Amino acid sequence: MKILLEDTIPFGTDYLNSVGDVETYAWQSLVPEMLRDVDILALRSTTKVTPDLLTSANKLKFVTTATAGTNHLDKAHLDSMGIAHSSAAGCNAVAVAEYVLSVLLHAQKAQKLDLYNATVGIVGAGNVGTALSKILTAIGVKHCLYDPPLQQALANTGKTEHNGQSFVDLAQIAKCDVISLHVPFIKGGEYPTYQMIDEAFLEGLMSNQLLINACRGEVIDEVALLSVLQGEKPPTVVLDVFDNEPGINTALFDYVWFVTPHIAGHSVEGKVRGTQMVYEQICDVVGTAPDKALSDFLDKTNPINAALTSPEASRLSVDDLIAVFHNVYDVAIDDEITRKAFLSTSNRDVKQKTDIANTFSVLRKQYRVRRECSAYALHLPKNTSKQIQNTFTKLGFHVSLV
Ligand SMILES: NC(=O)c1ccc[n+]([C@@H]2O[C@H](COP(=O)([O-])OP(=O)(O)OC[C@H]3O[C@@H](n4cnc5c(N)ncnc54)[C@H](O)[C@@H]3O)[C@@H](O)[C@H]2O)c1
Ligand SMILES: O=C(O)[C@H](O)[C@H](O)COP(=O)(O)O
């Protein structure tokens, strides 16, 4: 069985070389002729699987993406050719949720938010929305969900809540202190998400609200966003994703609080979990039993020694949470790297579009090593309360008292 892998899939060859005849292609080099006689194709989200790409695919039976998003696959066309397809649903949900947590903790530090008294509106309660809901539950932050397709599916089974959280409508989401977007990019159909955060929604936001987009840029009307951000008393906005990536509109940078190059899901765990998932799917297609596990590919980390200011308290103080969590992930570092890279991009006007696209792509490709909470042993003081230990455990840390 001939398996063609994109070289952006970490450990792809190590995982799959015993499963079939593996070949890799360099990122952005895939052309139709390379799919001749290929049985299985695995890639990531920057490769678009279009009818044109598939014109020479004479044997292709399975296409899979080591990512959560699937809007780069023309699924209707794959279906029409009888080619099965899949994705790594949920592979990087925790990474994105941790990205949002870092933003929330910075908002607390900057006095933009009173986190423990705030309400977070989660738009899209799938894998990422649920991972975020779990984090917020662990630290005791109120939140609500907007997800009509899921709400409808649950209603059909007589349920009104998802993991103990209630659903609200978009108008209620618009009133939340924080609005965090986690829907797929869908054009058309019953529940489209294309520009669902439209001009009216954006114009209704107040200066004390925080809007975070770490799903797909197309979900926000970016022209309206720029205009609102340039107006009086704009909301605080954090963007990980943009319309028309990688040729993004860098004019937004001057008005956005944190800006990152579509890396919210790029933890080591998020990426390698994606490889593990496509490996298991390919084993299934080939008819072989998988014998490799995520732990075979993840390095150990150094423990975090936390000197809590109030270890005996019944609730983890937000300052202690900030001090511990920002050892794991700090969005401000990625914001700084991003802004520096674009500053050295000579010009921001339309003529320099290629330069902007290259800068964006290179930042993503060369992203630093970032681990999730679950990668860390967390050493807490001996007198740490059970409640605080529990909170850290629920965040994924391996807690011990020293
Ligand atoms: N920035 C990143 O690095 C990054 C990482 C992972 C995922 N993503 C993006 O985030 C999206 C969500 O990821 P996920 O893993 O949670 O996907 P998912 O499929 O598990 O969940 C998506 C949820 O959105 C809901 N939804 C669909 N249409 C909706 C609508 N019109 N209104 C409200 N809710 C709607 C679905 O019912 C589902 O529950 C992905 O499709 C991807 O585009 C980005
Ligand atoms: O859809 C996803 O899983 C995420 O957007 C992911 O970060 C995409 O990563 P990429 O394939 O662009 O490296």
% of the chain beyond a pLDDT of 90: 96
Distance CA 88, CA 85 (A): 11
Query: With a 6 A CB cut-off, is 240 part of the ligand 1 pocket?
Result: yes
pLDDT digits (tens, 9 = 90+) for 365-389: 999 999 999 999 999 999 999 999 9
Residue 343: the pLDDT is 85
Nearest Cα to 273, choosing from 113, 402, 141, 89? 89
Distance CA 83, CA 40 (A): 10
How many A from CA of 141 to the centre of ligand 2? 27
pLDDT digits (tens, 9 = 90+) for 172-195: 999 999 999 999 999 999 999 999
Average pLDDT over residues 263-284: 98
Average pLDDT over residues 270-279: 98
* Residue whose CA lies nearest to ligand 1 atom number 30: 191
Would you say residue 347 has pLDDT above 90?
no
8 Å CB contact between 394 and 138: yes
Q: What is the number of the ligand 1 atom nearest to the C-alpha of 192?
A: 31
Residue 346: the pLDDT is 55
Q: What average pLDDT is seen over the chain?
A: 96
Residue 348: the pLDDT is 53
How many A from CA of 100 to the centre of ligand 1? 14
Q: Quote the tokens at residue 298.
A: 């993840």
Which of 43, 73, 86, 92 maximizes ligand 2 atoms within 8 Å of its Cβ, making it the mutation to test the pocket? 92
Query: With a 6 A CB cut-off, is 124 part of the ligand 1 pocket?
Result: yes
* Residue whose CA lies nearest to ligand 2 atom number 9: 45
Q: What is the number of the ligand 2 atom nearest to the C-alpha of 91?
A: 3
**Predicted model pTM:** 0.98
Distance CA 344, CA 352 (A): 12
Residue 352: the pLDDT is 75
Using alpha carbons only, give the angle 55, 59, 62 rounded to the nearest 5 degrees. 95
State which fold the 2-87+268-296 domain adopts. Answer: Rossmann fold (3.40.50)
pLDDT digits (tens, 9 = 90+) for 93-140: 999 999 999 999 999 999 999 999 999 999 999 999 999 999 999 999
Of 3.40.350.10, 3.30.1370.170, 3.30.420.40, 3.30.450.20, the CATH number of 302-401 is 3.30.1370.170
ipTM above 0.90, yes or no: yes
Task: Decide whether 93-259 matches 302-401 in CATH topology.
Answer: no
Say whether 147 counts as a known binding-site residue. Answer: yes
Q: Quote the tokens at residue 178.
A: 């924080």
- Which amino acid makes up residue 276? Q
Would you say residue 349 has pLDDT above 80?
no
- pLDDT bracket for residue 327 (50, 70, 90): very high
Would you say residue 351 has pLDDT above 60?
no
% of the chain beyond a pLDDT of 70: 98
pLDDT digits (tens, 9 = 90+) for 11-55: 999 999 999 999 999 999 999 999 999 999 999 999 999 999 999
Q: Which ligand is nearest to the CA of 218?
A: 1
Q: What is the number of the ligand 1 atom nearest to the C-alpha of 95?
A: 5
Average pLDDT over residues 255-259: 98
Residue 354: the pLDDT is 83
**What residues flank ligand 2, with Cβ below 6 Å?**
44-46, 67-69, 92, 262, 265-266
Q: Which residue reads 């969005």 in tokens?
A: 331
Of 3.30.465.10, 3.40.640.10, 2.60.120.10, 3.40.50.720, the CATH number of 93-259 is 3.40.50.720
Say whether 265 counts as a known binding-site residue. Answer: yes
Nearest Cα to 338, choosing from 315, 323, 356? 356
Query: With a 6 A CB cut-off, is 270 part of the ligand 1 pocket?
Result: no
How many A from CA of 163 to the centre of ligand 2? 26
Average pLDDT over residues 305-315: 97
Q: Where does residue 11 rank: exposed (0-12), middle (13-18), buried (19+ CB within 10 A)?
A: middle
Residue 231: the pLDDT is 97
Residue 86: the pLDDT is 98
How many A from CA of 68 to the centre of ligand 1? 8
* Residue whose CA lies nearest to ligand 2 atom number 12: 45
Average pLDDT over residues 81-91: 98
Active site residues: 216, 245, 262
Q: Domain locations in the chain?
A: 2-87+268-296, 93-259, 302-401
Query: With a 6 A CB cut-off, is 218 part of the ligand 1 pocket?
Result: no
